[in-house]
């Protein structure tokens, strides 16, 4: 099986990493046991443009699914980091302080934002989309944006 699912719109190629779970807000979670690594999906980082700055919470911060865990400032917009899971932040990617562009260059790898210790690993994954389901949702969002831009 391929590592990524891909779709192309105009000059943009949007990737979805197989094996990760996704929220409707376009954030991903890689759940391994009781820990989820989370980050920004490729679609969101490409639609918002180059990341210039991140404002993150500290390790130890409790989090509820859907809660804002900081902000990302890009060349096009400032938007919230919306947690796809509930638990407690146990690690913040300190590489992003000096290199926020890692979110654009490697959104599913070096551009991860947080590691979260999960309260309920099975419950957290139940409401998230697998790669195939998220791909459908992402394609709907791309079509909706295209209609707004191009009629």
Cα distances (Å, whole numbers) of residue 129 to 10, 27, 42, 78, 84: 25, 10, 15, 25, 10
pLDDT (tens, 9 = 90+) of the chain, 151 residues, equals: 689 999 998 888 999 999 999 999 999 999 999 999 999 999 999 999 999 999 999 999 999 999 999 999 999 999 999 999 999 999 999 999 999 999 999 999 999 999 999 999 889 899 999 999 999 999 999 999 877 777 6
How much is the pLDDT for 151? 66
Let me know: does 96 contact 103? Beta carbons within 8 Å: yes
Whole-prediction pTM value? Answer: 0.96
């Amino acid at each position: 099986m391929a590592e990524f699912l891909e779709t192309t719109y105009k000059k943009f190629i949007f990737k979805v990493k197989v094996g990760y779970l996704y929220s409707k807000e376009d954030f991903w979670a890689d759940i391994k046991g009781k820990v989820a690594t989370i980050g920004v999906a490729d679609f969101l980082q490409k639609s918002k443009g180059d990341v210039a700055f991140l404002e993150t919470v500290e390790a130890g911060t409790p989090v509820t699914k859907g809660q804002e865990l900081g902000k990302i400032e890009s060349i096009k917009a400032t938007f919230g980091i919306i947690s796809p899971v509930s638990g407690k932040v146990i690690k913040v990617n300190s590489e992003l302080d000096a290199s926020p562009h890692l979110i654009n260059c490697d959104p599913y790898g070096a551009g991860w934002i947080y590691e979260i210790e999960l309260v309920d690993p099975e419950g957290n994954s139940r409401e998230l989309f697998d790669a195939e389901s998220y791909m459908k949702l992402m394609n709907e969002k791309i079509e909706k944006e295209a209609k707004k831009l191009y009629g």
